[in-house]
Structure 1
Amino acid sequence: MKWIKPWKMILVATMTLSVLSACSSQTKDSAGSSSQTSSKEENKTSDATPEPLGKYADTVTVTEVLGYNPPEDPRTPKGITPEQNAYLKDLKDMLNIEVKYKWTVPSSQFEQKFSLAMASADLPDIMELDPKNFEKLKKQGMLADLTKAYNDYASPELKKYMESDGGFAMKTYSDDGKQLAMPAFEDPFLSTQLLWLRKDWLDNLKLQPPKTMDELDKVAEAFTKNDPNQNGKNDTYGVALQKNLFFWGYDLRGFFNGFGAYPSDGNNQTAWIKDSGGKLIPGLIQPEVKTALGKLQSWYKDGILDKEFALKDDTKTVEDIVAGKVGIVYGEWWYPNFPLNNSVDKDPKADWIAIQIPGLDGPGKSLVPKIRSGKAFAVNKSMKHPEAAIKMLNYYIEVGKKKYQGKTEAKDGFVYNWFNPRIYNPASIDTIYTEVNKALDAKQTEITLDDENFKDVEKVFQARNDYFSGNTQTGSKGVNWGLYFSRAAKDGGWGTTRKIKEAGAYVNNEFYGLPTETQVEKGAQLDKLMQESFTKIIMGASLDEFDKFVQSWKSLGGDQVTQEVNDWYSKQAEK
């Protein structure tokens, strides 16, 4: 039996009682409700001794907005909506915090919708912010100071996560001694771009995994024209792509990296690399980008890219991957967890593998940030209970993620990526990989790890065993394969990523500060210019349009951004 910290034992007992007992407290919508006398001893939260997971006497209502993708796990009940997420029900039962959404939209629509919300000052209590929006709201004085709430209410585990990088990310989101957001930062190598492709299609066509861009060109053409699925129909294309060229997934970061081009970090941010003189230059406007666009243009003309890519969002691209219409996609370590697991379930022959991205003369080098912190969670300054945000983070780590030592299940309606705010252990993926392989190498039949990662490691270990034994009682073939191949297989997502890290086959994005003044002011305009210019070129416009784009980008604010980024870089060198 695992040892449980005393305060957690008390928490579990209290939460179990609260679920079983009828609550006589009257629910109120106001976040500023005062304590009631009924159920006083059970529900009281003392200001003198703040508890990381203390239950409010009166309901604290928290407003949020959400951009979401379909549930990753196919065992999730059909038709469930974000409002029905079981995490929210448990949050209400255990902490008496009720989440109400002002609106929810698919992830591809979130940025536009949130921009409108900021423009109309119609903001929720708790907000997930990218660096640009954080800077905007900080300057407008719209963000609450979370310093006291964090110091008083953060659980030991949350503090451990936040201090795992020496407190660097926390300092990045502070201003004048005030903690204005809680950054969600992770291992930077989680951003490493891999090439995922159908090995069964390679085998059908007697082809080898490509190591160079020329070899990839031949494979992509064969996947388009040579009936790789052997069904006698012309119903496949080579490389997956959605309308957002640089996004969180199913985009072209890895493709450009293969040409030695580093235009973007995937978070709508230009990537910055060192030149020969030690200055930072924007990867977006370098000649290698033009060369890569030329190849994309030829791929589009030859049907290797879907002719309708400019109209497809990430959801539509995922549908093509799962339906077996496309056999190559660039992306990160987690793809087997979604959507490749669904591809495997739909087509038992589907055999996806991960390789280092092809380059011009051999395997290429992926862009890797120095700090991976693409989002942060902030609180509206008008929120009466800012500490509720900290408690919700504690809840996700201590309860939501573990659920009485780890029993949150998709079949019961728990959808982890529909819950905000959430922060992960920055070292969790590498711990899972190391511990599962340690157990396999020792020929263990069960996991005996005794720390906070136990349940995550056990879950992946069991999924691996179920996959190889064909046991589908607790998960489908795709689910079991996806958990194992993403996190623990030596030739899988994280296993391949680790090899790339160990080989030094990466290039750092040297800029890791918050957006500069001109990036905040002009960033959206410059991003739109890039998206429109690159899409036109891919679809057949003259390659000379790239040179025009460079001049426009520089004159519309790019040159000023470059100066500001280098001013920041000089200050880092002085520290």
Structure 2
Amino acid sequence: MKKKTAALMLITASTLTAGCSSHPLGLSDDTAAKTANNNGIRIVVNSLGMIFPEGMDENHNPYLSYIEKNTGVNVNVTLPPLNGYDEKLNVIMASGDPPDLLNTSDPSWFIHFVNQKALTPLNAYIDKYGPNLKARIPKEAWDNVTVDGNIYAIPSLNEVKGTEIVYARKDWLDKLGLKPPKTIDEFTAVMRAFAEQDPDGDGQKDTYGLSILERLRRTSPFLGAFGVQMNGWYERDGKLVYAGILPEMKDALLYLRGLYDEGILDPEFPLNKIDVLGDKIASGRVGLYSAAWSDTRSHIAASMKNDPKAEWIPLDFPVGPSGNHGVYRTSVVRSYNVVPVKSQQAEAVVKFLDFIAGPGQISLKLGFENEIWTRVNGKLSINFAEHTKHGYRGIYGALEDMADPGVTKDRLEGLGEQFRLYDNVQRIAANLMEDKFTGPPTPAMGKHQVKLNKLQEDTFTRIIAGLSPIEEFDAFVKKWKEAGGDEITGEVNEWWREQQ
């Protein structure tokens, strides 16, 4: 009953919307007037959960001053709450007084406002004011933001090609006489032992065989064992088919449902936000999970600090019954920077982003040289106190992140080779499952994707948590097709034919 109640709480929870200030961007009248009078730009961006040192905020700090000084553009920044971020963007777009730049990581949000003709085509501005953008952003990324020949967003790039890698407690494996698993059946046996055989030795049944996140995140290696990934598109008989309606997805859900029914899977998974899962890892309740490549420096490091006996190792990706394995590949586009049609500051926006992509990239990614980092014997040496203190710089750098392998290797090794960050991203990159659809979001995605995503998340969560029978998957497939999925599939395959 406890397990089903937890799942039901997530699925039926109401969405809370933050109240709006009198100004649609949440700016004070003085701040809004200052921006307008100085012919600057107003931007609405993601805070990434960052905090500012005492005496600083998003509009008063040395990194924003650095950008303003080098571009001649005055910038006023608004950071909506992380929860409901895209909903806040919707309110702003509907306000009649949108900012000059909005940043979103949601392709459905982007294409929706393209459909509404609410975004400014940026081709001419990029040609004139964006030399670094043109030189450093690859064609594949531009293709993802181009509709009918018009560029409607300036893309930020994903620095790494994938996110998830399985990590496990080696000390628990050793204590229980187990070897690192390779096949999905061996993974199941290890997870069962972690759940049932008291690997932490406290005499309590308080450990999980596997824990995942809400909305079925951190499941990629286990889905990969069945040959699918969430939201992927795969070729079948010469056509592209959505992964979420394939029989292989049903098999993967049935597998996860089995883990749940056996008490192997964390019963609270529908309520696991990242900080909740992180606490379970750090406190020794989880000994195997699909980690983000950076978790060795956060949750796993906290686990080892809290328990000196804890030893974590990366595992091979589980191999399924048909020999499949792997994880999802991140899109080349990390986020979309758009300029509403009502803005008169497209030139300034492009100059602002061009600097971040070009001359400002290293300082915004690594921090100011000689303050946060220096180079010693060819390697990056980082002042970690200052690095952490000024982590907020990532808010600005992420707007135009570039995929530079040399800088990535430098940075990740500089953060501490003991964390194996660069090794993690290399392991992931060697085990990516190809998503055949790499084009821009289609018009039908703008109309239907949000509701289809919710339908999928709710249905799959209910199936795994035992609130719906596995047969509900077949009803989901029918609903998905009728609620816009067939329309999306048609557009995806029209794009696919053009690539042949």
- Shorter-chain TM-score above 0.5: yes
* Counterpart residue number, 1:486: 421
SS in 2 for 1:191: coil
CA, structure 1 residues 333+252, in 2 after alignment: closer, same or farther (shift >3 Å)? same
In 1, the alpha carbon distance for the partners of 2:245 and 2:487 equals: 14
Q: Give the conservation status (yes or no) of the 8 Å contact 1:29–1:59.
A: no
* Counterpart residue number, 1:401: 365
Tell me which of the two structures has the higher relative contact order, counting C-alpha pairs closer than 8 angstroms and 6 or more residues apart.
Answer: 2
Q: Give the conservation status (yes or no) of the 8 Å contact 2:234–2:435.
A: yes
- Structure 2 residue 434 is matched with structure 1 residue 508: yes
- Structure 2 residue 348 is matched with structure 1 residue 348: no
SS in 1 for 2:215: coil
CA shift, 1:93, in A, is 5.8
CA shift, 1:363, in A, is 6.9
In 2, the alpha carbon distance for the partners of 1:27 and 1:285 equals: 49
* 1:507-560 deviation digits (Å, cap 9, x = unpaired): 311011122222221111211111111111111121111111111112222222
In 2, the alpha carbon distance for the partners of 1:367 and 1:411 equals: 30
* 1:103-160 deviation digits (Å, cap 9, x = unpaired): 4223x5323433444455564322123221211222222223333443344364x443
Match of 2:201 among 211, 230, 233: 230
CA shift, 1:572, in A, is 1.3
CA, structure 1 residues 81+404, in 2 after alignment: closer, same or farther (shift >3 Å)? closer
Q: Give the conservation status (yes or no) of the 8 Å contact 2:367–2:387.
A: no
* Counterpart residue number, 2:375: none
- Structure 2 residue 448 is matched with structure 1 residue 517: no
SS in 2 for 1:353: strand
* Counterpart residue number, 2:7: none
* Counterpart residue number, 2:281: 321
Ranges in structure 1 where 5+ consecutive residues have no aligned partner: 1-25, 34-57, 265-269, 434-455, 465-480
CA shift, 1:214, in A, is 0.8
| Residue identity (%) | 28
* Counterpart residue number, 2:477: 550
Q: Give the conservation status (yes or no) of the 8 Å contact 2:146–2:440.
A: no
In 2, the alpha carbon distance for the partners of 1:305 and 1:84 equals: 45
Matches within 5 A, 1:148-163: 148-154=124-130, 156=132, 158-162=133-137
Amino acid at match of 2:403: P
Q: Give the conservation status (yes or no) of the 8 Å contact 2:361–2:397.
A: no
* 1:318-354 deviation digits (Å, cap 9, x = unpaired): 2222222212222443332443333333333332222
Greater radius of gyration (CA): 1
SS in 1 for 2:263: coil
CA, structure 1 residues 92+510, in 2 after alignment: closer, same or farther (shift >3 Å)? same
CA shift, 1:256, in A, is 1.0
CA, structure 1 residues 308+232, in 2 after alignment: closer, same or farther (shift >3 Å)? same
* Counterpart residue number, 2:102: 127
SS in 1 for 2:400: coil
Q: Give the conservation status (yes or no) of the 8 Å contact 2:101–2:338.
A: yes
Judge which range, 143-152 or 132-141, deviates more: 143-152
CA shift, 1:386, in A, is 2.5
- Structure 2 residue 451 is matched with structure 1 residue 531: no
Match of 1:272 among 230, 233, 251: 233
* 1:193-227 deviation digits (Å, cap 9, x = unpaired): 42122222222222111111111111111222222
Amino acid at match of 2:477: V
In 2, the alpha carbon distance for the partners of 1:414 and 1:507 equals: 32
CA shift, 1:411, in A, is 4.1
Matches within 5 A, 1:289-304: 289-304=249-264
* Counterpart residue number, 1:285: 245
Match of 2:337 among 371, 377, 392: 377
Q: Give the conservation status (yes or no) of the 8 Å contact 1:181–1:376.
A: yes
* Counterpart residue number, 2:154: 182
Match of 1:415 among 380, 392, 405: 392
- Structure 2 residue 187 is matched with structure 1 residue 252: no
Ranges in structure 2 where 5+ consecutive residues have no aligned partner: 1-29, 373-385
CA RMSD of superposed structures (Å): 3.3
Q: Give the conservation status (yes or no) of the 8 Å contact 2:364–2:396.
A: no
Amino acid at match of 1:304: I
Amino acid at match of 1:224: A
* Counterpart residue number, 2:48: 68
CA, structure 1 residues 61+563, in 2 after alignment: closer, same or farther (shift >3 Å)? closer
Judge which range, 89-98 or 354-363, deviates more: 89-98
CA, structure 1 residues 176+517, in 2 after alignment: closer, same or farther (shift >3 Å)? closer
* 1:220-245 deviation digits (Å, cap 9, x = unpaired): 11222222223333322122212211
CA, structure 1 residues 85+300, in 2 after alignment: closer, same or farther (shift >3 Å)? farther
CA, structure 1 residues 309+77, in 2 after alignment: closer, same or farther (shift >3 Å)? farther
CA, structure 1 residues 79+319, in 2 after alignment: closer, same or farther (shift >3 Å)? farther
* Counterpart residue number, 1:211: 182
CA, structure 1 residues 280+194, in 2 after alignment: closer, same or farther (shift >3 Å)? same
Q: Give the conservation status (yes or no) of the 8 Å contact 1:186–1:427.
A: no
Amino acid at match of 1:69: G
* Counterpart residue number, 1:146: 122
In 2, the alpha carbon distance for the partners of 1:218 and 1:306 equals: 16
In 2, the alpha carbon distance for the partners of 1:195 and 1:87 equals: 36
* 1:407-465 deviation digits (Å, cap 9, x = unpaired): 4433443324433652233232x6654xxxxxxxxxxxxxxxxxxxxxx35x725833x
In 2, the alpha carbon distance for the partners of 1:386 and 1:128 equals: 14
Amino acid at match of 2:400: I
* 1:274-322 deviation digits (Å, cap 9, x = unpaired): 11x2211111111121222122222223332222221232232222222
* 1:43-91 deviation digits (Å, cap 9, x = unpaired): xxxxxxxxxxxxxxx57242314253357xxxx8699876676533544
Amino acid at match of 2:425: W
* Counterpart residue number, 2:23: none
Q: Give the conservation status (yes or no) of the 8 Å contact 1:67–1:110.
A: no
* Counterpart residue number, 1:261: 228
In 1, the alpha carbon distance for the partners of 2:476 and 2:262 equals: 25
In 2, the alpha carbon distance for the partners of 1:80 and 1:223 equals: 45
Q: Give the conservation status (yes or no) of the 8 Å contact 1:198–1:351.
A: yes
* Counterpart residue number, 1:51: none
Amino acid at match of 1:535: T
- Structure 2 residue 493 is matched with structure 1 residue 566: yes
Matches within 5 A, 1:9-24: none
